[in-house]
Amino acid sequence: MAYVTAFAGKGGTGKTTIAALTIRYLVEKRRKPVLAVDADSNSCLNEALGVPVHATIGGLREESLAMVRSGAERPGGMSMEQLFDYQVQQSLIESDGFDLMVMGRPEGPGCYCAANNIIRKYTDKLSARYPYVVIDNEAGMEHLSRRTTHEVDLLLVISDPTQKGIRTAARINSLVDELNLNIGRRKLIVNRVSGENFTRLKNSGMDIPFEEICNVPEDGNIFRLDMEGRPVFELPPDSVAVRTVFEILDSADIP
């Protein structure tokens, strides 16, 4: 069985950046194949990883529906399910040490159920081929209620150093309990905050219902790479974000 790491948190907290650095950690430190899953309809994990997207689950579903409506002949006499399965396998974006599967936009505004069901099905199906799976979920909590994130060894909830971010993280933590999701270990990572301000945050009196709370300091290298249109995967190894995220993952005892 794959060791699954998933991410949650409100938008704008740097969740995708830390997901990309987690993939880099597993590639560099564990040296085994990783399945990266971008389960956000606003796909951007590929940009953080520095790889192009040639197909998405949402797009493939649209193509399949169009084929059914038009009555087009399927190649090799395959059933629709067999053809879609083949297309999903071909849609995997292969890179050095990891493969990426991207959900992309589903069939219409406000309707995400079908694409989420498909991404969950194929994440489960493909997990048997990979020692590690990293799932970058959409912002908020919908993916939890839809159970896109349902069996996870390590859940990293990302917040910025604001009351709104911490309250969202607390609601995510509560929802995990309410839905009785199979989550092994949970960590709260407060992103872009120094050690001194992180201590102030913890002592502020806010309800922070996590046993494990970590922080990642602001890293000017991330802003520089973004301005240059380069992926965070290219951060230098001595970058504060790389060093800190790696230390957090070391403490998680990932096998």
Split into its structural domains, the chain has a count of 1
Per-10-residue mean pLDDT, the chain, length 255: 90 93 97 90 87 83 66 63 75 91 65 64 83 83 50 92 90 87 91 89 84 94 94 95 97 93
User: What three-state secondary structure class fits 214?
Assistant: strand
**How high is the pLDDT of residue 205?**
78
What is the extent of the structural domain holding 194? 3-251
**Among the listed residues 100, 123, 105, the one whose alpha carbon sits nearest the alpha carbon of residue 115:** 105
Proportion of the chain in helix, strand, coil states, percent, rounded to 5: 45, 20, 35
What is the CA angle 154-159-45, rounded to 5?
A: 65
Q: How high is the pLDDT of residue 73?
A: 61
Instruction: Give the model's pLDDT for residue 160.
Output: 93
Question: What pLDDT is recorded for position 88?
Answer: 79
Give the domain CATH number at 130. 3.40.50.300
Q: What is the pLDDT of residue 176?
A: 86
**Number of CB atoms found within 10 A of residue 204's CB:** 11
pLDDT at position 23: 98
Q: Which helix (H) or strand (E) holds 193?
A: none
